[in-house]
Protein backbone atom coordinates (compact mmCIF):
# COMPACT_ATOMS: atom_id res chain seq x y z
CA UNK A 1 0.00 0.00 0.00
CA UNK A 2 1.38 3.40 -0.92
CA UNK A 3 2.14 6.06 1.63
CA UNK A 4 -0.54 8.34 0.19
CA UNK A 5 -3.16 5.60 0.43
CA UNK A 6 -2.20 4.91 4.06
CA UNK A 7 -2.58 8.62 4.90
CA UNK A 8 -6.04 8.73 3.30
CA UNK A 9 -7.07 5.62 5.21
CA UNK A 10 -5.82 7.12 8.50
CA UNK A 11 -7.71 10.37 7.80
CA UNK A 12 -10.92 8.45 7.10
CA UNK A 13 -10.58 6.56 10.39
CA UNK A 14 -9.90 9.73 12.41
CA UNK A 15 -13.01 11.33 10.88
CA UNK A 16 -15.11 8.33 11.88
CA UNK A 17 -15.79 7.06 8.39
CA UNK A 18 -16.34 3.32 8.06
CA UNK A 19 -13.72 1.46 6.09
CA UNK A 20 -14.20 -2.06 4.85
CA UNK A 21 -11.01 -4.00 4.28
CA UNK A 22 -12.12 -7.20 2.61
CA UNK A 23 -15.39 -7.59 4.40
CA UNK A 24 -14.34 -6.71 7.95
CA UNK A 25 -15.87 -3.47 9.21
CA UNK A 26 -13.53 -0.94 10.79
CA UNK A 27 -14.76 2.28 12.43
CA UNK A 28 -12.79 4.66 14.64
CA UNK A 29 -14.28 7.88 16.03
CA UNK A 30 -13.12 10.60 18.37
CA UNK A 31 -16.61 10.81 19.88
CA UNK A 32 -20.14 9.61 19.36
CA UNK A 33 -21.98 6.32 19.11
CA UNK A 34 -21.22 3.49 16.70
CA UNK A 35 -24.05 1.24 15.52
CA UNK A 36 -23.55 -1.69 13.13
CA UNK A 37 -26.51 -3.87 12.20
CA UNK A 38 -24.54 -6.78 10.73
CA UNK A 39 -20.82 -7.60 10.78
CA UNK A 40 -20.70 -11.11 9.28
CA UNK A 41 -16.90 -11.07 8.85
CA UNK A 42 -16.04 -9.27 12.08
CA UNK A 43 -15.45 -5.69 13.12
CA UNK A 44 -13.01 -3.33 14.77
CA UNK A 45 -14.99 -0.54 16.45
CA UNK A 46 -13.39 2.22 18.55
CA UNK A 47 -14.86 5.44 19.94
CA UNK A 48 -13.57 7.82 22.56
CA UNK A 49 -16.94 8.83 23.95
CA UNK A 50 -20.01 6.91 22.89
CA UNK A 51 -21.90 3.64 22.89
CA UNK A 52 -21.02 0.71 20.62
CA UNK A 53 -23.88 -1.52 19.42
CA UNK A 54 -23.65 -4.46 17.06
CA UNK A 55 -26.77 -6.29 15.91
CA UNK A 56 -25.26 -9.55 14.62
CA UNK A 57 -21.54 -10.32 14.55
CA UNK A 58 -19.43 -13.07 13.06
CA UNK A 59 -15.68 -13.26 12.73
CA UNK A 60 -13.37 -11.53 15.19
CA UNK A 61 -14.87 -8.48 16.93
CA UNK A 62 -13.02 -5.78 18.85
CA UNK A 63 -15.26 -3.13 20.48
CA UNK A 64 -13.69 -0.39 22.61
CA UNK A 65 -15.06 2.83 24.08
CA UNK A 66 -13.81 5.21 26.73
CA UNK A 67 -17.15 6.39 28.01
CA UNK A 68 -20.08 4.35 26.81
CA UNK A 69 -21.92 1.04 26.81
CA UNK A 70 -21.20 -1.94 24.56
CA UNK A 71 -23.96 -4.26 23.31
CA UNK A 72 -23.70 -7.25 20.99
CA UNK A 73 -27.19 -8.61 20.30
CA UNK A 74 -26.11 -11.84 18.55
CA UNK A 75 -22.46 -12.93 18.69
CA UNK A 76 -21.82 -15.86 16.35
CA UNK A 77 -18.09 -15.30 15.87
CA UNK A 78 -15.13 -17.00 17.53
CA UNK A 79 -13.66 -14.01 19.36
CA UNK A 80 -14.85 -10.87 21.11
CA UNK A 81 -12.67 -8.32 22.89
CA UNK A 82 -14.98 -5.71 24.48
CA UNK A 83 -13.72 -2.98 26.78
CA UNK A 84 -15.14 0.23 28.23
CA UNK A 85 -13.93 2.63 30.89
CA UNK A 86 -17.32 3.83 32.06
CA UNK A 87 -20.20 1.76 30.79
CA UNK A 88 -22.08 -1.52 30.80
CA UNK A 89 -21.40 -4.51 28.55
CA UNK A 90 -24.17 -6.81 27.33
CA UNK A 91 -23.41 -9.75 25.03
CA UNK A 92 -25.67 -12.53 23.77
CA UNK A 93 -23.84 -15.54 22.31
CA UNK A 94 -25.72 -17.50 19.62
CA UNK A 95 -25.00 -20.95 18.25
CA UNK A 96 -23.15 -23.75 19.91
CA UNK A 97 -19.70 -25.10 19.36
CA UNK A 98 -16.20 -24.59 20.60
CA UNK A 99 -13.19 -22.42 20.14
CA UNK A 100 -14.71 -19.15 21.34
CA UNK A 101 -12.65 -16.60 23.23
CA UNK A 102 -14.58 -13.80 25.00
CA UNK A 103 -12.93 -10.97 26.94
CA UNK A 104 -15.34 -8.48 28.56
CA UNK A 105 -13.78 -5.72 30.68
CA UNK A 106 -15.30 -2.57 32.18
CA UNK A 107 -14.00 -0.15 34.77
CA UNK A 108 -17.38 1.18 35.89
CA UNK A 109 -20.29 -0.88 34.69
CA UNK A 110 -22.28 -4.08 34.86
CA UNK A 111 -21.45 -7.04 32.61
CA UNK A 112 -24.26 -9.27 31.35
CA UNK A 113 -23.44 -12.38 29.31
CA UNK A 114 -26.22 -14.51 27.84
CA UNK A 115 -25.20 -17.90 26.45
CA UNK A 116 -26.99 -20.86 24.84
CA UNK A 117 -28.19 -23.58 27.20
CA UNK A 118 -25.45 -26.00 25.99
CA UNK A 119 -22.59 -23.44 26.15
CA UNK A 120 -19.60 -24.83 28.03
CA UNK A 121 -16.48 -22.78 28.81
CA UNK A 122 -13.70 -22.08 31.23
CA UNK A 123 -14.58 -18.91 33.15
CA UNK A 124 -12.51 -16.36 35.00
CA UNK A 125 -14.67 -13.61 36.51
CA UNK A 126 -13.16 -10.86 38.69
CA UNK A 127 -14.77 -7.98 40.55
CA UNK A 128 -12.63 -5.50 42.45
CA UNK A 129 -14.76 -3.73 45.02
CA UNK A 130 -14.59 -1.30 47.90
CA UNK A 131 -16.33 -1.85 51.24
CA UNK A 132 -19.13 0.59 50.41
CA UNK A 133 -20.13 -1.35 47.32
CA UNK A 134 -22.72 -3.88 48.46
CA UNK A 135 -24.08 -4.16 44.89
CA UNK A 136 -20.91 -5.96 43.71
CA UNK A 137 -21.70 -9.60 43.11
CA UNK A 138 -21.70 -12.41 40.57
CA UNK A 139 -25.03 -13.94 39.55
CA UNK A 140 -24.58 -16.98 37.32
CA UNK A 141 -26.71 -19.79 35.90
CA UNK A 142 -23.41 -21.62 35.33
CA UNK A 143 -21.89 -23.03 38.54
CA UNK A 144 -18.74 -21.07 39.41
CA UNK A 145 -16.42 -21.48 42.37
CA UNK A 146 -16.16 -18.11 44.13
CA UNK A 147 -13.54 -16.76 46.50
CA UNK A 148 -13.37 -13.37 48.23
CA UNK A 149 -10.03 -11.85 49.18
CA UNK A 150 -9.45 -10.09 52.47
CA UNK A 151 -9.49 -6.29 52.30
CA UNK A 152 -6.14 -4.75 51.50
CA UNK A 153 -5.12 -2.07 53.99
CA UNK A 154 -2.33 -0.65 51.81
CA UNK A 155 -4.43 1.07 49.14
CA UNK A 156 -7.77 1.51 50.89
CA UNK A 157 -10.12 -1.27 51.87
CA UNK A 158 -10.55 -3.11 48.57
CA UNK A 159 -11.65 -6.70 48.12
CA UNK A 160 -11.59 -8.91 45.07
CA UNK A 161 -14.26 -11.46 44.19
CA UNK A 162 -12.97 -14.15 41.85
CA UNK A 163 -15.14 -16.85 40.29
CA UNK A 164 -13.84 -19.71 38.17
CA UNK A 165 -14.85 -22.71 36.19
CA UNK A 166 -11.81 -24.52 34.88
CA UNK A 167 -13.10 -27.38 32.72
CA UNK A 168 -14.58 -27.04 29.24
CA UNK A 169 -15.41 -29.79 26.77
CA UNK A 170 -15.96 -27.22 24.00
CA UNK A 171 -12.66 -25.28 24.38
CA UNK A 172 -14.45 -21.97 24.95
CA UNK A 173 -12.84 -19.37 27.20
CA UNK A 174 -14.56 -16.45 28.95
CA UNK A 175 -12.81 -13.71 30.93
CA UNK A 176 -14.83 -10.95 32.63
CA UNK A 177 -13.77 -8.10 34.91
CA UNK A 178 -15.40 -5.04 36.46
CA UNK A 179 -14.93 -2.67 39.38
CA UNK A 180 -17.56 -2.26 42.11
CA UNK A 181 -20.39 -3.62 40.00
CA UNK A 182 -22.28 -6.77 39.05
CA UNK A 183 -21.64 -9.63 36.65
CA UNK A 184 -24.65 -11.60 35.39
CA UNK A 185 -24.26 -14.82 33.38
CA UNK A 186 -27.48 -16.34 32.10
CA UNK A 187 -28.37 -19.34 29.96
CA UNK A 188 -31.25 -19.20 27.49
Question: Would you say the pTM of this structure is higher than 0.75?
Answer: yes
Length of the chain (residues): 188
What does the pLDDT look like over 43-79, one tens digit per residue?
999 999 899 999 999 999 999 999 899 999 999 999 9
> Per residue in 121-142, pLDDT tens?
999 999 987 665 567 889 999 9
Question: Tell me: the pLDDT tens digits for 2-51?
Answer: 555 544 445 444 444 444 445 899 999 998 999 999 999 999 999 998 99
Q: Edge-to-edge, what's the strand order for the sheet holding 182-187?
A: 34-39, 52-57, 70-75, 89-93, 111-115, 182-187, 137-140
Cα 17 from Cα 23, distance rounded (Å): 15
Amino acid sequence: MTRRRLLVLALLLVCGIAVQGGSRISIAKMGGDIAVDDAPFGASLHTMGGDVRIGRAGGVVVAKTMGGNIAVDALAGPRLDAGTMGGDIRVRVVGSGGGRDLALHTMGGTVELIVPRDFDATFLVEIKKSDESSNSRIVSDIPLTQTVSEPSLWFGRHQTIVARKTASRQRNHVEISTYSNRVVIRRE
